[in-house]
Copies of this chain bind each other. A is one copy, B any other.
Amino acid sequence: MSEYVFESLEKTLETHIPGAELKEIKRILYGKELRKLILPQTALDAALERDFDLQGYVFEAAPEQLRAPSAVRVGLIQNKIILPTDAPVLDQITALHKRVGEIVEVAAICGVNVVCFQETWTMPFAFCTREREPWTEFAESAEDGFTTHFCQELAKKYNMVVVSPILERDEIHGGTLWNTAVVVSNTGTVLGKSRKNHIPRVGDFNESTYYMEGNTGHQVFQTQFGKIAVNICYGRHHPLNWFMYSMNGAEIIFNPSATVGALSEPMWSVEARNAAIANHCFTCAINRVGVEYFKNEFTSGDGKKAHHDFGHFYGSSYVAAPDGSRSPGLSRTQDGLLVAELDLNLNRQIADKWNFKMTGRYDLYAEELTKAVQHAFKPNIVKE
């Protein structure tokens, strides 16, 4: 049960390791030390009162002659569900709207320009159950649903781009379900949507029961605050997914997720960060928090006894930069808002330094990959 009480890696390091060594440890684990963002006292007070972890960091870039700094503030929100999973569906959604709405209010005080919520943020992550009811009732229209309307109001009120990952009901294609992020412009317009490209079949992630691989490709959204893309959850394990968003021009790639400790925690700090490095862009990894209890027991295909929860969603949301630096993670156990000021000029500066796009030999890989997907592909193996 230790994972439930262990609050954060960073706090443990800071508590126990003396100054000079701590500096080196942090350099190796986190890259260059980030300046803390000075947040308004009203925001700090509100976070304390509303009981969520609030942290702020600045990712700086060098000054340039021809471009002004391009500072954008992103907000990453992680949270527990509010009501029991057997409460009425609309009550559960409304309670989450209220909770996330009050965190967004603090984000606005902190000057956040683009906020992103966790995967399927209006519901418990109930796909472990394989039950249809009541979970499919949480699905909404991306363009015209209750939750999208709520986000449009937030966007207009706070002049903020809102990335809202929901369970989508696609009425014009036979009422199919999708795992979809709706991107709402700061004007309140729905800019578009980005569907989850890779669907897991691992452990309790029975999502392939509910929806298929996304068909929206690798769209990038040009917002007033920069070009953003959304790589939902399991897509973070697929380097090509990050890559293709980057090739389409993404400066910031959000990764709204729902993942549990026993399964993925040692990978969490590796994957989004590797993507930021490999693609010369910022990545924002967001994970939900807490344990969600389901009335009907389910099994996990691992020979263990039937049980009522998915395990502990470990939060730890963070931002990674193209220079290999990253922010500390939010709490493993508590709701949180991570505010990060990103100077997007850093992307091109690091690209010009490291040149991965230039040295990437993509023509070679296009050719090799095209061959590799053929049924008759013969692996290139040398034998004695």
Interface residues of A (CB under 8 A from B): 2-3, 6, 9, 12-13, 16-18, 20-21, 23-25, 27-32, 185, 187, 189, 191-192, 197-203, 213, 217-223, 227, 234, 237-240, 243-244, 247-249, 264-271, 273-274, 277-278, 324-325, 353-356, 358-366, 368-370, 372-373, 379-384
Contact = CB atoms under 8 A, between A and B. Distances in A.
A198 B360 contact: yes
A9 B23 contact: no
Contacts of A359: 198-201, 213, 234, 238
A17 B28 contact: no
B379 A202 contact: no
A324 B30 contact: no
9 contacts: A2-B23, A29-B29, A32-B266, A198-B359, A237-B278, A240-B360, A247-B372, A248-B380, A362-B372
Contacts of A185: 384
Contacts of A379: 220, 247-249
Contacts of A358: 201
Nearest to A187: B384
A381 B249 contact: yes
Contacts of A243: 239-240
A221 B267 contact: no
Contacts of A277: 237, 267, 270-271
A24 B262 CA distance: 12
User: Which 10 A-B residue pairings sit nearest by Cβ, starting from the closest?
Assistant: A239-B239, A31-B266, A274-B274, A266-B324, A366-B369, A248-B379, A267-B324, A366-B370, A249-B379, A240-B365
Nearest to A358: B201
Most buried by B among A20, A199, A220, A270: A270
Contacts of A273: 270
